[in-house]
């Protein structure tokens, strides 16, 4: 029990399951059955999933939903969302419907530049390094030509390579700071392959550069890797309408608009609130990122760094009232792909992209930004009016009833009952016990 295992990856799937169930679970037979129950009955689909990652023993399902009625740049979209949290899809759909009659969402891609860096140590004369870099710069491009050829044919490739001196931060630390255009690919493999080639060119050329001393020739490459911080791979999404069109129950349009603007001001000023505010935005963004097979960890890391770009963590969305026009917008960095990676492998990802009419990466950036903005609008709309719990607990009701083991007919009765009663954990428990005892 709990002893290290040799060669786990080489065990068959059945053997892996057996080992994990026997050694780490209370009821090995039940665990075995559970893991197998989540296998896909189509062997081909299962094999595909087995091979996405290593040591696969089962599948982990998340709901795949659709939020309809998004009007973006005068075109209709139904947005696929993959997420476990109740209320998120309902909130997105509600926000989409709200803005449908108020002109919809308008979006603009502000840039598509991706970044990668070769981090290296050079101990010597920086002026000499600069001369060396200027002389060999064309070699970086030509040495990488076999990697960049097909990307260049499609209009992408390496945009620039810059030498940066960061030796004030870490002794001898310098960088090749490189920018790329990767079109519809997220581009991680392309960028990393280019960077590793740049690193090789850098070392080789330095080694035989006559103006360097022996010490200067010995450039140490620490690492070559893309950056997930992409502040120039940026998209903006916006909604706006005359204040009078913001008709809500129990609150005047002006007060509603002012409360939203103030809620955004608070998220701009105060990091605790900003984090939660942005978390709500990521509810929408991550759900579309996951459904479309993109890398949500990369997006999360880059987005939060962007939220802190001015020195303190702040809101990703903005709101204003000018000349009686309410405006609400987001600017967010999103390095996305609609080709490569999971996009052509995962059957549901393919379907999600088809539902979105097979967008180019730039179009997907716009759709994802809209999902984030819609989510934030829906959250703020509830927060500054009824509060979040009313809607949230209603949506969460089925989860609670499932957890409490309610039957289908009990669920039907209680969903009906709670249309006019407040949902809390205690009230649901009490109502369920009451009908069970009747
Ligand atoms: C919950 O998942 C997201 C919210 O907390 C976002 C927010 O507070 O703005 C409702």
- Kindly tell me if the per-residue pLDDT of 172 is higher than 80: yes
Query: Considering 208, 227, 246, which residue would you say is the last residue of a domain?
Result: 227
Mean pLDDT of 407-411: 94
Mean pLDDT of 323-346: 95
- How far is Cα 232 from Cα 209, in angstroms, rounded to an integer? 35
398 part of a folded domain: yes
Three-class secondary structure assignment of the chain: CCCCCCCHHHCCHHHHHHHHHHHHCCCHHHHHHHHHHCCCCCHHHHHHHHHHCCCCCCCCCCCEEEEEEEEECCEEEEEEEECCCCCHHHHHHHHHHHHHCCCCEEEEECCCCEEEEEEEECCCCHHHHHHHHHHHHHHHHHHCHHHHHHHHHCCCEEEEEEEEECCCCCCCEEEEEEEEECCCECCHHHHHHHHHHHHHHHHHHHHCCCCCCHHHHCCEEEEEEEECCCCCCEEEEEEEEEHHHCCECCECHHHHHHHHHHHHHHHHHCHHHHHHHHHHHHHHHHHHHHHCCCCHHHHHHHHHHHHCCCCCCCCCEEEEEECCEEEEEEEEECCCCCECHHHHCCHHHHHHHHHCCCCCHHHHHHHHHHHHHHHHHHHHHHHCCCCHHHHHHHHHHHHHHHHCCCCHHHHHHHHHHCCCCCCCHHHHHHHHHHHHHC
Looking up residue 318, the CATH number of its domain turns out to be: 3.90.770.10
- Kindly tell me if the per-residue pLDDT of 302 is higher than 60: yes
Q: Report the pocket of ligand 1 as residue ranges, CB < 6 Å.
A: 85, 276-277, 279-280, 283, 379, 383, 388
Summary mean pLDDT of the chain: 96
Query: What pLDDT was estimated at residue 1?
Result: 56
Which helix (H) or strand (E) segment is 239 a member of?
strand 234-242
Query: What pLDDT was estimated at residue 419?
Result: 87
Give the position of tokens 């490569």: 340
Domain extent, residue 14, equals: 8-50
Phi-psi region of 110 (alpha: psi -120 to 50; beta: other; left: phi over 0): alpha
352 part of a folded domain: yes
Ligand 1 centroid to residue 137 C-alpha, Å: 48
Q: The sheet that has 114-121: what strands, in order across it?
A: 157-165, 173-181, 114-121, 220-227
Mean pLDDT of 7-20: 96
Protein residue whose Cα sits closest to atom 10 of ligand 1: 379
Mean pLDDT of 161-180: 98
Residues 156 and 134 in one domain: yes
Residues 367 and 250 in one domain: yes
Query: What pLDDT was estimated at residue 2?
Result: 67
Which pairing describes strands 317-322 and 234-242: parallel, antiparallel, or unpaired? unpaired
3 part of a folded domain: no
- Kindly tell me if the per-residue pLDDT of 389 is higher than 80: no
- Kindly tell me if the per-residue pLDDT of 118 is higher than 60: yes
373 Cβ contact partners less than 8 Å away, ≥ 6 residues apart: 105, 237, 238, 239, 281, 284, 317, 328, 329, 330
358 part of a folded domain: yes
Instruction: Name the residue of 86, 270, 279, 286 to mutate for ligand 1: max ligand atoms within 8 A of Cβ.
Output: 279
- Kindly tell me if the per-residue pLDDT of 392 is higher than 80: no
Instruction: Name the residue of 267, 273, 280, 386 to mutate for ligand 1: max ligand atoms within 8 A of Cβ.
Output: 280
Instruction: Name the residue of 388, 389, 395, 399 to mutate for ligand 1: max ligand atoms within 8 A of Cβ.
Output: 388
Q: Given pLDDT bands bounded at 50, 70 and 90, which one contains residue 298?
A: very high
- How far is Cα 8 from Cα 428, in angstroms, rounded to an integer? 46
Looking up residue 196, the CATH number of its domain turns out to be: 3.30.70.420
Residues 204 and 159 in one domain: yes
Q: Given pLDDT bands bounded at 50, 70 and 90, which one contains residue 5?
A: very high
Query: Considering 196, 227, 258, which residue would you say is the last residue of a domain?
Result: 227
Longest dimension (CA), the chain: 94
Residues 100 and 211 in one domain: no
Q: The sheet that has 106-109: what strands, in order across it?
A: 106-109, 234-242, 325-333, 317-322
219 part of a folded domain: yes
Mean pLDDT of 148-172: 98
DSSP symbol at 357? T
56 part of a folded domain: no
Using a pLDDT cut of 70, give the percent of the chain over it.
100
Residues 411 and 303 in one domain: no
Residues 257 and 367 in one domain: yes
Residues 106 and 163 in one domain: no
Per the annotation, the verdict on 295 as an active-site residue is yes
- Kindly tell me if the per-residue pLDDT of 282 is higher than 70: yes
Q: Given pLDDT bands bounded at 50, 70 and 90, which one contains residue 350?
A: very high
Question: At 176, is the secondary structure helix, strand, or coil?
Answer: strand
Q: Which residues, in sequence order, are bridge partners of residue 185? A: 339
Query: What pLDDT was estimated at residue 438?
Result: 86
Question: At 388, is the secondary structure helix, strand, or coil?
Answer: helix
Per the annotation, the verdict on 139 as an active-site residue is no
pLDDT 10s digits, 45-57:
999 999 999 999 9
Residue 1 CA from chain centroid, whole number:
38
Ligand 1 centroid to residue 282 C-alpha, Å: 10
Q: How many domains does the chain have?
A: 4
Using a pLDDT cut of 90, give the percent of the chain over it.
92
Query: Considering 370, 386, 402, which residue would you say is the last residue of a domain?
Result: 386
pLDDT 10s digits, 66-106:
999 999 999 999 999 999 999 999 999 999 999 999 999 99
Query: What pLDDT was estimated at residue 185?
Result: 95
Residues 377 and 239 in one domain: yes
55 part of a folded domain: no
Q: Given pLDDT bands bounded at 50, 70 and 90, which one contains residue 395?
A: confident
- How many CB atoms lie under 10 A from the CB of residue 86? 19
375 part of a folded domain: yes
Mean pLDDT of 4-15: 95
Residues 123 and 267 in one domain: no
Ligand 1 centroid to residue 375 C-alpha, Å: 9
Residues 244 and 318 in one domain: yes
Residues 301 and 217 in one domain: no
Residues 188 and 307 in one domain: no
Protein residue whose Cα sits closest to atom 6 of ligand 1: 280
- Kindly tell me if the per-residue pLDDT of 250 is higher than 90: no
Mean pLDDT of 342-348: 92
| Beta carbons of 177 and 162 less than 8 angstroms apart | yes
């Amino acid at each position: 029990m709990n002893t290290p295992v040799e060669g786990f990856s080489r065990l068959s799937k059945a053997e892996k399951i057996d080992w994990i169930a026997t050694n780490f679970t209370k009821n090995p037979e039940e665990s075995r059955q559970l893991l197998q129950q989540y296998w896909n009955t189509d062997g081909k689909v299962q094999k595909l999933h087995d091979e996405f990652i290593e040591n696969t023993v089962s599948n982990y399902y998340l709901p795949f939903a659709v939020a309809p009625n998004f009007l973006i740049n005068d075109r209709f979209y139904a947005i696929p969302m993959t997420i476990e949290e109740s209320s998120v899809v309902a909130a997105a759909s509600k926000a989409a419907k709200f803005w449908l009659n108020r002109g919809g969402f308008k979006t603009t891609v502000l840039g598509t530049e991706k970044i990668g860096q070769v981090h290296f140590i050079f101990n010597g004369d920086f002026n000499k390094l600069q001369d060396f870099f200027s002389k060999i710069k064309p070699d970086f491009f030509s040495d990488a030509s076999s990697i960049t050829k097909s990307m260049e044919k499609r209009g992408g490739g390496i945009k620039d390579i810059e030498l940066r001196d960061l030796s004030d931060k870490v002794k001898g630390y310098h960088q090749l700071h490189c920018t790329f255009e990767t079109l519809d690919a997220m581009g991680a493999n392309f960028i990393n392959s280019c960077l590793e080639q740049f690193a090789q060119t850098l070392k080789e050329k330095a080694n035989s550069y006559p103006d360097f001393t022996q010490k200067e020739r010995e450039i140490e490459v620490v690492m070559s890797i893309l950056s997930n911080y992409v502040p120039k791979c940026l998209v903006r999404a916006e909604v706006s309408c005359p204040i009078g069109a913001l008709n809500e129950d129990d609150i005047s349009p002006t007060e509603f608009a002012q409360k939203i603007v103030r809620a955004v001001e608070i998220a701009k000023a105060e990091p605790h609130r900003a984090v939660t505010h942005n978390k709500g935005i990521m509810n929408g963004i991550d759900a579309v990122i996951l459904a479309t097979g993109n890398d949500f960890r990369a997006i999360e890391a880059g987005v939060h760094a962007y939220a802190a770009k001015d020195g303190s963590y702040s809101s990703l969305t903005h709101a204003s009232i000018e000349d009686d026009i309410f405006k609400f917008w987001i600017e967010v960095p999103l390095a996305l792909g609609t080709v490569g990676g999971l996009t052509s492998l995962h059957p549901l990802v393919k379907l999600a992209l088809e539902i979105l009419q097979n967008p180019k990466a730039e179009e997907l950036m716009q759709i994802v930004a809209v999902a984030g903005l819609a989510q934030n609008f829906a959250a703020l709309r509830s927060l500054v009016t009824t509060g979040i719990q009313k809607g949230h607990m209603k949506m969460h009701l089925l989860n609670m009833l499932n957890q409490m083991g309610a039957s289908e007919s009990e669920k039907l009765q209680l969903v009906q009952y709670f249309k006019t009663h407040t949902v809390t954990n205690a009230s649901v428990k009490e109502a369920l016990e009451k009908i069970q005892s009747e």
